[in-house]
């Protein structure tokens, strides 16, 4: 049974993770992303603690582990470029390198999430929500591109 329609602004890690679970719950979800296409690049994201449980429940733990950054260590340089500290055991921000935590690049994680969603999830690039009007039994959304949608929620 279809549960309704959901509009999500932004197809980053948060928007895609939300769309993943709403898709599983039977919602028809539309992601509106202002970038003209999927943006590669960006920093790494740590999956640790309860986030590991969430990724496991998504059924994506093995795939996420295979995509991890495989950081080998960390070194600190002074203003002249001389190494002042080095460690191959841990990083200052992410803890021990031999832990079960997963460090994964933002774009790899986004692609993993996109690949795990059904065709019911619609991704609209090069657009953003301009206005949402409450119409009692639903909302009417208008978009920067001029596109209009009536959503029954």
Ligand X SMILES: Cc1cc2nc3c(=O)[nH]c(=O)nc-3n(C[C@H](O)[C@H](O)[C@H](O)COP(=O)(O)OP(=O)(O)OC[C@H]3O[C@@H](n4cnc5c(N)ncnc54)[C@H](O)[C@@H]3O)c2cc1C
Using CB under 6 A as the criterion, which residues of the chain lie in contact with ligand X when the complex forms? 9-15, 32-35, 43-46, 93, 106, 128
- Nearer Cβ to ligand X (6/11): 11
* Minimum CB–partner distance for residue 1 and ligand X (Å): 29
Tokens describing residue 102: 């997963």
- Nearer Cβ to ligand X (80/93): 93
The Cα–Cα gap between 56 and 68 comes to: 15
Q: Dihedral through CA 6, CA 11, CA 14, CA 18, nearest 10? A: 30
**Closest residue to ligand X in the complex (CB):** 12
* Minimum CB–partner distance for residue 42 and ligand X (Å): 6
The Cα–Cα gap between 35 and 33 comes to: 6
- Nearer Cβ to ligand X (44/52): 44
149 by Cβ neighbours in 10 Å (0-12 / 13-18 / 19+) ranks as: middle
The Cα–Cα gap between 56 and 64 comes to: 9
Angle at 75 between CA 69 and CA 81, to 5 degrees: 125
* Minimum CB–partner distance for residue 2 and ligand X (Å): 24
- Nearer Cβ to ligand X (1/140): 140
* Minimum CB–partner distance for residue 23 and ligand X (Å): 17
């Amino acid at each position: 049974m279809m549960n309704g329609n959901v509009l999500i602004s932004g197809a980053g890690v948060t928007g895609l993770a939300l769309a993943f679970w709403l898709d599983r719950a039977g919602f028809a979800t539309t992601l509106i992303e202002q970038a003209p296409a999927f943006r590669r690049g960006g920093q790494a994201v740590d999956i640790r603690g309860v986030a590991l449980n969430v990724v496991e429940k998504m059924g994506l733990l093995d795939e996420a582990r295979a995509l991890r950054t495989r950081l080998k260590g960390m070194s600190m340089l002074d203003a002249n470029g001389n190494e002042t500290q080095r460690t191959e055991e841990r990083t200052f921000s992410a803890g021990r390198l031999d832990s079960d935590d997963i460090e994964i690049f933002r774009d790899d994680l986004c692609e993993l999430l996109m690949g795990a969603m059904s065709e019911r999830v619609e991704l609209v690039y090069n657009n953003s929500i301009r206005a949402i009007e409450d119409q009692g039994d639903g909302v009417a959304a208008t978009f920067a591109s001029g596109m209009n949608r009536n959503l029954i929620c």
